[in-house]
């Protein structure tokens, strides 16, 4: 169950958690018409800080634009709202879930007279992918094909596909599934981007392979370039995972999660590899305020 907090942000106001309800005839319930974000706020040596807040809010605005959903808030207003919410609830570290959706007004897929509602909640949330290293499978479900549902939008409806991937993986005894794209190339996990290392080169799937433009993905690519690790974004076949030296997931929820096996084939010796460790240490070091915030990734919040 979700651990509740005191307040939820709704269209500019902080309202009680238990009052944040919507009507069953709201558009979003019937047609999945929402766009949302997942953001982490990390504890710091003193206080707390939200990780890459403007980048997340820009992606929310981008997702809304893709779906022709007018959001009456600027990047700055959305970012300040997150800070206000986290400070009002006084809960950190935490996970923050802003969501914009088509509300109550009319039914049918052309929502001309349906108001857009914006809510934000925050709550404590620990590890997303269980254990220190994940045993994963290739899913029998493919990721959204281009020209079906836009994968650059973080939209509610996309997560029906994610649920199929994750539930199938779970039913078969894996913690997560990796989907191929419509052409059979590697895409991503149900809620994580995918990386692999081979012969000292870091590979990840390009945006053209039906992936979300992950903010953790971008952070890891930035850190790899800082360390002088060669980075390649290219389409990759499934079997590259079987012969990789290292494989890992990235995501706000998953952070940097090493992958121990794919389809029961052990990755290298089954232990997290040196490049995964170097990138994870730097990622967690910056997020937790223990290493210099070279890129201005942290927005401090005042929580007691
Ligand atoms: N892909 C999908 C489908 C996701 O849901 C997520 C989580 N938002 C990611 C990748 C990772 O993105 P990020 O690092 O921005 O959380």
Give the binding-site residues of ligand 1, using a 6 Å CB cut-off: 38, 154, 162, 188, 191-193, 212, 214-217, 250-252
154 is catalytic: yes
Give the residue, out of 193, 207, 217, with the most ligand 1 atoms within 8 A of its beta carbon, to mutate for a pocket test: 193
User: What is the arithmetic mean of pLDDT over 198-225?
Assistant: 98
DSSP 191-250: S-EEEEEETTEEEE--GGGT----HHHHHHHHHHHHTT--EEE---BTHHHHT-SEEEEE
Ordered by start, the domain boundaries in the chain are 7-123, 134-287
CB count within 10 Å of CB 17 equals 14
Q: pLDDT tens across 86-132, in order? A: 999 999 999 999 999 999 999 999 999 999 999 999 999 877 777 78
Q: Is the pLDDT of residue 141 over 90?
A: yes
Q: pLDDT tens across 238-293, in order? A: 999 999 999 999 999 999 999 999 999 999 999 999 999 999 999 999 999 999 99
Distance 133 CA to ligand 1 centre (A): 18
SS3 content of the chain, % helix, strand, coil (to 5): 30, 30, 40
Fold of the domain spanning 134-287: D-amino Acid Aminotransferase; Chain A, domain 2 (3.20.10)
Is the ipTM of this structure higher than 0.95?
yes
**Residue 193 CA: which ligand 1 atom is closest?**
10
pTM of the predicted protein model: 0.97
- Of the options 3.30.470.10, 3.40.1410.10, 3.40.30.10, 3.40.50.10860, the CATH number for the domain spanning 7-123: 3.30.470.10
- State the catalytic residue, choosing from 7, 127, 154, 277: 154
Ligand 1, atom 4: closest residue by C-alpha: 191
pLDDT (0 to 100) of residue 125: 86
Strand partners, 79: none
């Amino acid at each position: 169950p979700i651990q509740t907090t005191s307040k939820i942000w709704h269209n500019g106001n902080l309202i009680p958690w238990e009052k944040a309800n919507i009507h069953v005839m709201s558009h979003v319930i019937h047609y999945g018409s929402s766009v949302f974000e997942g953001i982490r706020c990390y504890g710091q040596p003193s206080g707390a800080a939200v990780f890459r807040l403007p980048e997340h809010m820009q992606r929310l605005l981008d997702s809304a634009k893709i779906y022709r959903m007018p959001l009456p808030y600027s990047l700055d207003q959305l970012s300040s709202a997150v800070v206000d919410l986290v400070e009002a609830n006084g809960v950190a570290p935490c996970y923050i879930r802003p969501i914009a959706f088509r509300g109550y007004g009319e039914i049918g897929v052309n929502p001309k007279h349906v108001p857009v509602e914006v809510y934000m909640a925050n709550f404590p949330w620990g590890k997303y992918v269980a254990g220190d290293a994940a045993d994963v499978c290739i899913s029998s479900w493919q990721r959204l094909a281009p020209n079906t549902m836009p994968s650059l939008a973080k939209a509610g409806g996309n997560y029906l596909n994610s649920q199929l991937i994750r539930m199938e993986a779970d039913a078969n005894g894996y913690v997560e599934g990796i989907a191929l794209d419509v052409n059979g190339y590697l895409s991503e996990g149900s809620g994580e981007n995918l990386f692999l290392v081979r012969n000292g080169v870091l590979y990840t799937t390009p945006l053209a392979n039906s992936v979300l433009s992950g903010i953790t993905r971008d952070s890891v690519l930035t850190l790899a370039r800082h360390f002088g690790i060669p980075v390649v974004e290219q389409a990759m076949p499934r079997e590259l995972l079987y012969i990789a030296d290292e494989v890992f997931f990235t995501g706000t929820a998953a952070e940097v999660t090493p992958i121990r096996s794919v389809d029961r084939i052990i990755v290298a010796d089954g232990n997290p590899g040196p490049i995964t460790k170097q990138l994870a240490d730097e990622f967690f070091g910056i997020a937790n305020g223990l290493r210099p915030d070279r890129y201005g990734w942290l927005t401090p919040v005042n929580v007691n």
